[in-house]
Structure 1
Amino acid sequence: MDMEGYVYDYYNYTDDYDPDVIEEESVHKHKSTCLSEAMCVSLLIVNLLIFLLGFFGNALVIWIAGFRMKKTVNTTWYLSLAISDFIFCTCLPLSIANMVMDNWIFGQFMCKVTSSVMFVNMFSSIFLLVIISADRCVSVVFPVWAQNHRSVKMASAVVGVAWLLAFALSVPSAIYRKVIDHLGRTVCLNFYPPHAHQIVAVTRFLAGFVVPFVIIIGCYSIIIFKLRNNKMTKSSKPFKVMTALVATFFTCWLPYHVFVLLEVNHSKLDHNLLVTGLQVGTSVAAANSFLNPVLYVFMGNDFRQSFKSSLLRKMENAMGEEGRTISRYLSRSSSMDTRASTHM
């Protein structure tokens, strides 16, 4: 069967590759030039910072949300997000080493794992953001139902479904990712059969970006309309963290999706532009994994209060503030609905 090969991993992309000439090309000795190229060095530094900040930042969130705070629906959401980002960050050193050496030395199994983890992280994050948005919307529109049915057990079950879907949509990476010898180096690449590349790219764009974006915007539009119409609250604090998380996610992932879609017709585009776009887009997407815990810290309180409280307290306030405000809103709405029902 004819195969369409793309020598493309997190930081490498070359023209189409002919599997019939693997052995001929492998006689060339390849030397890494990353440390002598400004772009590669810049991306290397950026990814090292992403790894350090993301690894320790998400570990801190996992410790606080998982062991120091009372288990609530909100901490369930944020704990799952932190676990997703933490797992992704643990795989970054392999990609960083690949950048430096310009050679994949970790074998085919880890080649498949690192790529799959990236997409599990992408899909699980966006699905969780959709779930949180829907949860907020239901809490505002149907406060009595939410007061009676919104539980940690249900939240945990929903998170489990989101993770299963994320794993299912990441299967193509496990199937089509391969290790081959190319121009004297070992490369971890996507090796697609005809038309599979287009199908995978479009599916990821729709399921991981367009559809979630529409749902989230819809949920927040309903929330804003409901709150303004009822004049139940004048504070925007309940939605600050969530809004920042959503905006950060889409800002980080949009460049990646744009260049992945362009990659489908890479023969018609400037090669250097596509290489740079894929490298930068992937690094910007990876940055989302360390920005989430940063938002947990600084979005919960105002700037002056953040200097007066400890780091742990700031993170607890950031993650717990939404729950307290939503609970007050639910209680107030339930009380109003009860009083209204006695007059009907």
Structure 2
Amino acid sequence: MPRFPAATGLALALTLAPAFAQAEQPPEPAGRKQLVIISFDGAHDNKLWEKSLEMGKRTGAHFTYFLSCTFLMTRAEGGKSYRAPGHKAARSNVGFAQSREEIQARVRHIWQAHQAGHDIGSHACGHFDGKGWSAADWKQEFTAFNTALANAWTAGGIAGEEPQGWADFAAHGIKGFRAPYLSLSDGLLPALKQDGFTYDASLVTKGPGWPTDADGLPRFGLPLIPEGPQQRRVIGMDYNLFVRHSMGIENRKDSALFEERALDAYRKAFQKEYDGSRIPLQLGFHFVEMNGGAYWRALDRFLSETCTKTDVACVSYAEGLPMIAEQKKADRSAF
């Protein structure tokens, strides 16, 4: 599979075979709300920060932003001290911030999102494939992320503007993780637990599924959903639709067609759960508008018509966890 230039910042969703989670049998709906969980990987492009925050405000949705930490440093400055396990210093598969001014805008967006009730999670740092990483390797990457987040206002040259509460947020507010490429290793789970994460969203499930319990850590999976004329299943993520629709090559000419296909897939996946057992529907996106923005436009339309329903909650992973726990308690059944 061809790589995108690092300058695009595209956090590629899947280049390897995903690890499928075994979804457990859902309990009956019992009047529960249908949860819709939307996440964004990379969280770098400042224009898309603005667009997503406006979308969330207008639709009432809360999102999870899985941030890649190299976007909180320039290669010339902080990048020199970043070294991913098994790689040379100052390397990143998705690049770095291009300027201090870019970092300044990004940290303000992150804080704005946090203040508005969105969930900021970790997508590690340089978007490397960790399939062979040990727990110590993952811990090294988590430490680099924590350091970059804590020092972000300084890296942007605006240390004096750091808001009260940022240090606590950087130290304790990052509770969720998604692995780059959705690629796992045996060392990931122990490292997540050691580092205090409360959920992982790195799996893929054969359809919408409840989070599984991995030694006390909830693990979510992006579902395979039917799509297109043949209703073949595809991971519910914009990049995977991009590959299916145009072989991963930008095609603006057919953008409207791709938008309608994506929206139809989102609607049908939602309606199946809404009319059935009301398993949470998870959909993933990137901070890159592929095929002329088709998938972001489809998302906007989907949220606008869905999140206003009284028995639907468009929530982040962090918000969804206690709601799922309450549903679990009410149903008196374990996942």
TM-score over 0.5 for the pair = no
TM-score under structure 2 normalisation?
Answer: 0.27
Please state which structure has a larger fraction of its residues in strand: 2
Whose Rg is larger?
1
Please state which structure has a larger fraction of its residues in helix: 1
TM-score under structure 1 normalisation?
Answer: 0.26
